[in-house]
Amino acid sequence: QDFTEKDFAEKLQSFRGFQTVKVLRESNANKCLFLHGKLNGQDAVVLLEKSPFDKEKVDELMNENTSLVETLKNDIYSTYTAFPEKSLNAVKATLIHPATPKHITKYTDQEAFVVHETEDIYQSVTLPYIESQAFSIQWVYNILEKKTESDRIVYEDDSPEVGFILLPDMKWDRKDIDALYLQAVVHKHGVKSLRDLDQSYLPLLRNILTKGEAAIKNKYGIPRSKLKVYIHYQPSYYHFHVHFTHVKLENPGFEADRAHLLSDVIENIEMKSDFYQHKTLTYKVREQDKLYQALKEYGYFEKEDNKS
């Protein structure tokens, strides 16, 4: 490799000179730590995450070079603190430098709140919020018109009423089948979310479920009993789309306060056409979400927390 002097100057060899200002967030489950600090007098954000074990290097790990300190012993069970060789125990580090206040906010732990959105709250707060934001969904139209990502399309039904484009989610590496993640984006415009669905959309919903599952079985060999098919509420963008993931994928987007199984949605609407217009829908907001602000200004949380 060739380095210019400038490259060399900027390429860090260690965290020498880094001064921690604050721990922004930590996750014990995922072994992450996000820091705000100073480097060369400028703000920096460092995202640290322990690496997964490398299956290919198990033999290098499980030998005399990994020292052990026993912490507990009970019959056939014992626990140890193990110290592997440095080279086998990497940490992934992302540095943002210089960092703006926006970066610092973005990676700071946010308070989360549970919202029980009644029909009335939807009409009074959520719907006006969605309409006032006038979110740009041009990027979705670009996909549907095949101006972008057309080489990524897995399946298409081009009907303007019940059709959709099926393509890999950005979070999927397209290699690990156990982590399969696709999205079906409908051709029809104007369906904002679950709240808009009634029996007039049953042909669309059934078509996505049936043809989406068939396309995935065809292309990847994954049968119906290995697939989770669901809708987000709130969605991350207000053009109707459906998530298809492998049963083994553990992702936060499948939590019970966000994911609604498409088969449940179809069944509920079959039972009662206006099910989702009247249903109280429960979801999580974070303090930096604009919807949280809108709900707060409306006095939602004050009222809610005085109930109990």
Per CB under 8 A, does 242 bind a copy of itself?
no
Report whether 152 contacts 218 (CB < 8 A).
Answer: no
Our CB check for a copy of itself shows the closer of 144 and 295 to be: 295
Residue from the set 18, 141, 220, 298 that interacts with a copy of itself by CB under 8 A: 18
Per CB under 8 A, does 171 bind a copy of itself?
no
Per CB under 8 A, does 127 bind a copy of itself?
no
Residue from the set 33, 204, 205, 269 that interacts with a copy of itself by CB under 8 A: 33
| Footprint (CB under 8 A) of a copy of itself, residues 268-307 | 271-272, 279-280, 282, 284, 301, 304-305, 307
End-to-end CA distance of the chain: 64
Our CB check for a copy of itself shows the closer of 98 and 128 to be: 98
Per CB under 8 A, does 202 bind a copy of itself?
no
Other beta carbons within 10 Å of 145: 10
Residue from the set 200, 247, 287, 299 that interacts with a copy of itself by CB under 8 A: 247
- On the CB side of 260, CA atoms within 13 Å amount to 22
Our CB check for a copy of itself shows the closer of 134 and 170 to be: 170
Per CB under 8 A, does 50 bind a copy of itself?
yes
Residue located via tokens 């033999």: 59
DSSP string of 142-161, one letter each residue: HHHTTSSSGGG--EEE--TT
Look at residue 45 and give its three-state secondary structure.
Answer: strand
Per CB under 8 A, does 174 bind a copy of itself?
no
Residue from the set 2, 61, 162, 169 that interacts with a copy of itself by CB under 8 A: 61
Residue from the set 5, 64, 120, 173 that interacts with a copy of itself by CB under 8 A: 64
| Footprint (CB under 8 A) of a copy of itself, residues 86-125 | 86-87, 89-99, 112-116
- Please tell me the count of residues contacting a copy of itself according to CB under 8 A: 106
Handedness of CA 208, 214, 215, 217 (dihedral sign): positive
Per CB under 8 A, does 68 bind a copy of itself?
yes
CB of 63 to a copy of itself, least distance (A): 6
Instruction: Give the list of residues 6+ apart from residue 83 with CB closer than 8 angstroms, or none.
Output: 66, 67, 68, 69
Report whether 261 contacts 228 (CB < 8 A).
Answer: yes
List C-alpha distances in Å: 122 to 126, 176, 190. Answer: 5, 39, 17
Per CB under 8 A, does 213 bind a copy of itself?
yes
Q: How far apart are CA 39 and CA 48, in angstroms?
A: 16
Per CB under 8 A, does 83 bind a copy of itself?
yes
List C-alpha distances in Å: 290 to 118, 132, 133, 233, 272. Answer: 18, 11, 9, 15, 32
Our CB check for a copy of itself shows the closer of 99 and 162 to be: 99
Report whether 279 contacts 118 (CB < 8 A).
Answer: no
Our CB check for a copy of itself shows the closer of 134 and 256 to be: 256
CB of 102 to a copy of itself, least distance (A): 12
Per CB under 8 A, does 255 bind a copy of itself?
yes
Catalytic residues: 241
How far does Cα 40 stand from its chain's mean position?
34
Our CB check for a copy of itself shows the closer of 103 and 135 to be: 103
